[in-house]
Amino acid sequence: MTNKPVLMVVDDDPQVLAAVRRDLRSHYRDHYAIMSAGSGAEALTAVNELKARGSSLAMVISDQRMPGMLGVELLTQVRATYPTARRVLLTAYSEIDAAVRAINEAHLDHYLSKPWDPPDERLFPVVDDLLDGWLAEYLPEAKGLRLIGHQWSPRSHAIKDFLASSLVPYRWLDITRDAEARRLVEAAGVAEHDLPVLLFEDGSVLCNPEPRQVAERLGHPLSAAFEVYDLVIVGAGPAGLAAAVYGASEGLQTLLLDRHAPGGQAGSSSRIENYLGFPNGVSGSELTRRAIAQAQRLGSEVLAPLEVTGAFVEGGYKHVTLADGRELVTRTVLASTGMAYREHPAAGVADFTGAGVYYGAAVAEAPAFAGRRVLVVGGGNSAGQGAMHLARYAEEVHVVVRRDHLRDTMSQYLIEQIQKTPNIHLRTRTEVERVEGDGRVERIALACVGDDSARVEAFDAMFVFIGTRPQSEWLPAGVLRDEKGFVLTGRDLMASPDFPKVWKEPREPLPLETSVPGVFAAGDIRGGAMNRVASAVGEGAMVVRLAHEYLALT
């Protein structure tokens, strides 16, 4: 049996099957083994055999109309065995509407319409693209980076979160559940109190590291290459990433920084359904992977994790201060540090953060809750997406909201998805009163809104998606903000009563300019932001044009 990852094609029509197999072989046989099956049942048997042998399955392309089992049913079942394998539906042109519906419901990756001639235009680009995404997540069995620690340790959570956000494939092993983990830790001579530990493929070991040490060990750059930049972008969410792409492509010496990893809130989304150009939705990590590659290819520097703690203006230049004391010098700054969730005020929450209480989607944690009972707090789109993602693993997902419905806070498509998912339970007019447990979340007290009597229920985790606040503390005092801390720009800035006190230029501020000339803001950090990936990306792109205008004035 070959060690190459497998591309499987399934069709009950022998001629079509032979044609797809021939085309795939002609293009992919050097790196992938091409397998075929004539029915859904045959394909499932082959998938289970592959799993039993420890082989990797990269993609399944299946015809939709097959007797016995529809393609979409087969592809839904494949996901349970190989969650990261890319799944593509092959469909006749006349059935595309039905295919798109099926794709939405079963969260497939793509559809291909028959005929796919010429394959150079209609087959290989799609398959190449999907395989790139698969390869980015792929970690061969028993190879690569391993992280060993305790599931309920906040330190382990921090490293998992960092590796997942940085798009570094790794294997997580829980020391309390996994015999292999114990064996590996003993063989490496690592004491229990030194966990979590990272074991690298070359045999080297990093005990209880900070994310920054992990980044250094992985060879991520953490030092700026130039003394002076045209544009320093603080925050690598969609706004910052877009500015990095446009800044570099339009000739600005551009540096992008993030205190965590590129991606921002969008990077933590399991599926963004409404971003232009991705009809089947796109995961936040996939969008981030593409954006970083694009920004770097065009010449932007990307440094993470590096936290910015301050900024000031001196001698016509802006100085950006890093948490480690270093300073960067630049002609313009973009503040794109977005928003973060506020700490949930219920009793006990602070004690369990990272030990069963997680903020945002915590995509890296979801698999650890397979078969468990978890709570999602919040009624916005991010909570809806988080619940849908968790429902793939957890036995029960309870969504708690204070209102008596979701329709004012969540998009209709997500409400419908939640209604159709049997293991998601919506609990309206409910709030979290207390979190309890011994070293980890074990019980949560829930109360009806306006009623004092709380009911204690068993839960293994609580994912919080409420109470956002702008991350604008690092900006100089001269940058005007609204009462919640969101940054004022352009016209909103001119409407502020404090504007005449701080703005001393003989011109009006540019549209996304703050009250400090040459310091711009884009995305969720701005007062009046749209809180959408597309609007953040649009504003990030606009800033580059405005930075050029500003530089021409100085």
Ligand X SMILES: Cc1cc2nc3c(=O)[nH]c(=O)nc-3n(C[C@H](O)[C@H](O)[C@H](O)COP(=O)(O)OP(=O)(O)OC[C@H]3O[C@@H](n4cnc5c(N)ncnc54)[C@H](O)[C@@H]3O)c2cc1C
Q: Does 379 bind ligand X (CB under 6 A)?
A: no
Tell me how far apart the alpha carbons of residues 184 and 530 are, in angstroms, rounded to a whole number. 48
Given candidates 259, 289, 344, 398, which one binds ligand X under the rule CB under 6 A?
Answer: 259
* Cβ closest to ligand X, residue 64 vs residue 381: 381
Given candidates 424, 536, 546, 547, which one binds ligand X under the rule CB under 6 A?
Answer: 536
Tell me how far apart the alpha carbons of residues 273 and 243 are, in angstroms, rounded to a whole number. 22
Q: Count residues binding ligand X (CB under 6 A).
A: 41
Enumerate residues 6+ apart whose C-beta is below 8 A from 315.
none
Binding mask 305-334 for ligand X (x = CB under 6 A): --xx--------------------------
What residue has token string 């500015």? 243
Enumerate residues 6+ apart whose C-beta is below 8 A from 121.
none
Q: Does 265 bind ligand X (CB under 6 A)?
A: yes
Give the nearest distance from C-beta 324 to ligand X in angstroms: 12
Given candidates 166, 285, 337, 430, which one binds ligand X under the rule CB under 6 A?
Answer: 337
Given candidates 24, 311, 361, 391, which one binds ligand X under the rule CB under 6 A?
Answer: 361
* Cβ closest to ligand X, residue 151 vs residue 385: 385
* Cβ closest to ligand X, residue 119 vs residue 240: 240
* Cβ closest to ligand X, residue 119 vs residue 264: 264
Tell me how far apart the alpha carbons of residues 414 and 230 are, in angstroms, rounded to a whole number. 41
* Cβ closest to ligand X, residue 185 vs residue 304: 304
Q: Does 301 bind ligand X (CB under 6 A)?
A: no
| Sheet with 57-63, side-by-side order of all strands | 33-37, 6-10, 57-63, 86-92, 110-114
Q: Does 487 bind ligand X (CB under 6 A)?
A: no
Enumerate residues 6+ apart whose C-beta is below 8 A from 218.
166, 168
Binding mask 125-144 for ligand X (x = CB under 6 A): --------------------
First-to-last alpha carbon distance for the chain, in angstroms, is 67
* Cβ closest to ligand X, residue 269 vs residue 515: 269
* Cβ closest to ligand X, residue 238 vs residue 247: 238
Q: Does 268 bind ligand X (CB under 6 A)?
A: yes
From 193-201, 424-432, 522-530, 541-549, span contacting ligand X (CB under 6 A): 522-530
Q: Does 11 bind ligand X (CB under 6 A)?
A: no
Q: Does 273 bind ligand X (CB under 6 A)?
A: yes
DSSP notation for 197-258: EEE-TTS-EEES--HHHHHHHTT---S-S-SEEEEEEE--SHHHHHHHHHHHHTT--EEEE-
Give the nearest distance from C-beta 115 to ligand X in angstroms: 34
Enumerate residues 6+ apart whose C-beta is below 8 A from 371.
393, 394, 395
* Cβ closest to ligand X, residue 212 vs residue 434: 212
* Cβ closest to ligand X, residue 290 vs residue 440: 290
What residue has token string 């790196």? 31
* Cβ closest to ligand X, residue 391 vs residue 536: 536
DSSP notation for 92-111: EGGGHHHHHHHHHHHT-SEE
Tell me how far apart the alpha carbons of residues 153 and 521 are, in angstroms, rounded to a whole number. 36
Asked if 239 and 539 count as a contact pair (C-beta separation under 8 A), the reply is yes
Given candidates 161, 523, 543, 544, which one binds ligand X under the rule CB under 6 A?
Answer: 523
Q: Does 470 bind ligand X (CB under 6 A)?
A: no
Q: Does 255 bind ligand X (CB under 6 A)?
A: no
Given candidates 119, 211, 264, 348, which one binds ligand X under the rule CB under 6 A?
Answer: 264
Enumerate residues 6+ apart whose C-beta is below 8 A from 82.
47, 51, 57
From the centroid of its chain, how far is CA 338?
15
Q: Does 274 bind ligand X (CB under 6 A)?
A: yes
From the centroid of its chain, how far is CA 48?
29
* Cβ closest to ligand X, residue 23 vs residue 301: 301
* Cβ closest to ligand X, residue 5 vs residue 540: 540
Q: Which candidate, 155, 3, 127, 2, places its Cα nearest to that of 61?
A: 127
Tell me how far apart the alpha carbons of residues 37 and 14 are, in angstroms, rounded to a whole number. 9
Q: Does 260 bind ligand X (CB under 6 A)?
A: yes
Binding mask 215-244 for ligand X (x = CB under 6 A): -------------------xxxxxxx----
Residues that bind ligand X (CB under 6 A): 234-240, 257-260, 264-266, 268-269, 272-274, 307-308, 336-339, 360-361, 381-382, 385-386, 471, 474, 523-525, 531-534, 536
